[in-house]
A and B are shown apart, each in its own frame.
Chain A
Amino acid sequence: MLSINRPTPTTVLYTVSTRSPTDTWPSRFSSYLLIFVRILAGLFAISLAWSEYVLQLGIRAIGRSLATTEPGRFIPTPILLHFQAQHALLRLAIIVAIFYFSTQKFYQEESLLVLRGLGVQTTTQSSNYLSRGSSAMRFIPTSSIQDIFIHEAFKGFEVRFYLAIVVEGEAELRVVFPNILPRREMLETVWRGTRACLYEPTKSPQG
């Protein structure tokens, strides 16, 4: 899904997302439902973690008190403690997994921001709500953009179209939307718009 945001005539933001569109009532309802479920799941994970913490404290306290009072009588106690700790690890892993999935986006979003006279910025958003910092962002000034074009490449068992920017002084191309690799029509829209926005709109690209 491609969304185009054009705040001023010289600025365009193209965002490509794999999220299903929420323009109908059922889809909107289901997306709200999903958010609600996620919040519930997140709270559930947090409360589980808390209870586990309390439980562990309790077991430790009991074990310590038993061990100090009568050392000879509770021989299986260390084994029991060990057993408890192992299961605690497993439980902890489950809790972390639930929490992770409740904050996961389940869709990818990549964008291209075009500013006339300045340059373009490509962004790949992180796939998690909490890890904002790891999203890959790259600004390329107009002066170092040599070309922007659509080409095809092999990817796995597929042949995909991609939009790429040739950056001056770099051996490798900068692929726009590298993970989603949207379909050709979408790329053409972005390509036309980007060229129109980057360069003077009066000039035709055909040499």
Chain B
Amino acid sequence: MPYNIAMISDFFYPQPGGVESHIYQLGTKLIDRGHRVIVITHAYTLSDGHPPRSGIRYLANRGFKVYHLPHWVVFRSTTFPTVFSSFPLLRYIFIRERIQIVHAHGSLSNLGHEGLLHGATMGLRSVFTDHSLFGFSDAGSILTNKLLKFSLSDVGHVICVSHTCKENTTLRASLNPLSVSVIPNAVVASNFRPLQPGEASEITTIKNDTLPPPPDPSRPLNPGDPITIVVISRLFYNKGTDLLISALPLLLNRHENLRFIIAGSGPKAIDLEQMLDSLPQNLVLTPTGQSRVRLMGSIRHEEVRRVMIRGHLLLSTSLTEAFGTVLVEAASCGLMVVATRVGGVPEVLPSNMTVLVLPEVEDVVRGVTEAVGMLTGSSDPTSANAGRMRKVRRDRFHEQVKIMYSWADIARRTERVYDLVTNNPSAPDNTVDDEEWDGYGVEAAAQVQSFALIDRLKRYFGCGIWAGKLFVIVVVVDYLIYCWLELWYPRDKIDICKEWPRVMNVEEDVWGINAKLDEHESGNQHAVNDHLEREVTVTQRRWDRKGSLAPADAAG
């Protein structure tokens, strides 16, 4: 059945990032499947460096509604960690949107945790998606893990982006592993196509920088041909910039045909530049006097593809990575991937696209050498994989990635999680035939399906000796606030929002919704214009479902 879903996170557009685009893509695909999705985030002011956003907005034109909650205490772009402050507004929104499922994203999002707590107090089903890995030892992690344990005590189901992330989250929050599912991220494959025939001539240079011309992915490389390695990473310690800095001179020295494009900025950018300055001229310059290593600075997400298609190889030296979207994006652009074997990286791509290395300088050099060998077909006799040379077909990567990763698939799998937490049967096109998965997670979900206050308190009490008692107090206070809110802002005084007119193809009409619409409404289908933020007034004109303006109607 179609659900009303509230995605809650501190991280949403206009701020760019992985969680942000995950929520957006998942939301739009769920809307395509007939659900209603709203996003609740905080307001952005101009000082955050983004266009300001406040109030209630619509994204695209299919009723993807975003509530930018006004926040009272601000530090940078995260809300101050209060526990109860947004309860009145969240409750109001949950009621007026008839929300059934609260879906929070990101373990550092305070708003998400608040949403889970208040949602549980209101008796709503909850799902949480974790996007990141955390340690266990430092003070910050311990605190975050305790908080996570608290807010996940009551959550119906947890989604992690990779199996490593699942392991991490299960341990951190002491969860039942059966109530944790793995649903990866995806990429919009059409945004990351490899170089198209005839496109090479019209590619303009980025930032007036003369980058090497994009190579043709279908043309095999000969030994000695210039090979461009792309590095797209924020230059932070945890992204392995130090490893890159150490490995770069060795690689430049060992292979004369290597060129590097490094995109991204961060505190380690200075170290990188210093290292390049300290190298002898014959290493950093080609015989014709061009620089072999180009630093692009930070680039926008839209520009990533235009940088990627100029390379043959993507190098990722990250020290921690929950999923590694950039690897999938690179493979979709037809790049060979050399990546450190950390976090969820080994799960992301099949072995014919990747060379995995240990996060050590020598191994990075070995991995790049091996990948270069695979690309050029010159087999390195020392390599263990000498047998599988000449098998890399970069031009086929895109099609393979397109099959592996699609947001529509992610939305279907997320919908199954929703079915699980709400105890509903799956949609006819969304069932798994495999017997092995029959009843997956049902038992674990059943444990948290009682919303009686005493059962909730029992779950929270088990969180720890002192923390358990503290959490119980918090939950009781939350419940009292809820009772007060029910008296002060009674439910029947809250206006229910109208549903956005459903627009979908007949084939996609899983729930038979179109059949219920009368002819007038099905005639109301307007062009589905994706990825466009429409003016409020424009959407508002279409807002009314009936739109009949007969004077008789007005008089009634």
Contact = CB atoms under 8 A, between A and B. Distances in A.
B55 A184 contact: no
B554 interface: yes
Contacts of B56: 151-154, 159
Nearest to A160: B495
B93 interface: yes
Interface in A166-205: 166, 183-184, 188-189, 191-197, 201, 203-205
Given A158-B92, A197-B554, A206-B524, A153 B55 contact: yes
A196 B541 contact: no
A157 B92 contact: yes
B549 A205 contact: yes
Given A147-B541, A183-B495, A154 B70 contact: yes
A159 B554 contact: no
Interface string B463-482: 00000000000000000000
A157 B88 contact: yes
A166 B538 CA distance: 12
A207 B92 contact: no
A156 to B, nearest CB: 8
A26 B553 CA distance: 32
A6 interface: yes
Given A161-B495, A184-B495, A195-B549, A151 B554 contact: no
A14 to B, nearest CB: 10
Contact of B540 (A9, A150, A206): A150
Contacts of B542: 206-207
A197 B554 CA distance: 9
* Binding site secondary structure of chain A: mixed
Contacts of A150: 540, 543-544
A6 B542 CA distance: 27
A13 interface: no
A95 interface: no
Given A159-B89, A159-B93, A192 B541 contact: no
Contacts of B381: none
A67 interface: no
B136 interface: no
A111 B549 CA distance: 21
B488 to A, nearest CB: 9
Given A157-B92, A159-B92, A183-B495, A188 B544 contact: yes
A149 interface: yes
Contacts of B80: none
Contact of B555 (A4, A153, A188): A4
Interface string B36-77: 000000000000000000011000000000010110000000
Contact of A157 (B89, B96, B554): B89
Q: Which of A9, A147, A159 has the most CB of B within 10 A?
A: A159
Nearest to B56: A152
B440 interface: no
B551 interface: yes
A45 interface: no
B92 A192 contact: no
Contacts of A4: 555
Nearest to A206: B547
Contacts of A206: 524, 541-542, 547
Contacts of A149: 536-537, 540-541, 543
A132 B44 CA distance: 42
Contacts of B403: none
B551 A196 contact: yes
Interface in B182-219: none
B511 interface: no
Contacts of B553: 192-193, 196
B540 A154 contact: no
A113 interface: no
A12 interface: yes
Interface string B524-556: 100000000000110011111001111101111
Nearest to B93: A159
Interface in A7-57: 9, 12
B549 A154 contact: no
Nearest to A156: B88
A198 to B, nearest CB: 10
Contacts of A197: 551, 554
A195 to B, nearest CB: 6
Contact of B554 (A12, A158, A183): A12
A151 B555 contact: no
Contact of B55 (A12, A154, A161, A207): A154
Contacts of A205: 541, 544, 547, 549
Contacts of A161: 495
Nearest to A202: B549
A149 B536 CA distance: 9
Contacts of B237: none
Contacts of B89: 154, 157-159
Contact of B549 (A159, A184, A196): A196
A158 B556 CA distance: 29
Contact of A159 (B96, B540, B555): B96
Interface string B167-182: 0000000000000000
A197 to B, nearest CB: 7
Contacts of A204: 547-549
Contacts of B494: 158
B69 A192 contact: no
Contacts of A158: 89, 92, 489, 494
28 contacts: A4-B555, A12-B554, A149-B541, A149-B543, A150-B544, A151-B536, A151-B540, A152-B55, A154-B55, A154-B70, A157-B88, A157-B92, A158-B92, A159-B67, A159-B89, A159-B93, A161-B495, A184-B496, A188-B544, A192-B554, A193-B551, A196-B549, A197-B551, A201-B549, A201-B551, A204-B549, A205-B547, A206-B541
Given A157-B89, A158-B92, A159-B92, 15 more contacts: A6-B555, A147-B541, A149-B537, A149-B541, A152-B55, A157-B88, A159-B96, A184-B496, A192-B548, A192-B549, A193-B554, A197-B551, A201-B550, A205-B541, A207-B542
Interface of A: 4, 6, 9, 12, 147, 149-154, 157-161, 166, 183-184, 188-189, 191-197, 201, 203-207
Closest 6 CB pairs of A and B: A193-B554, A157-B88, A149-B540, A184-B495, A196-B549, A152-B56
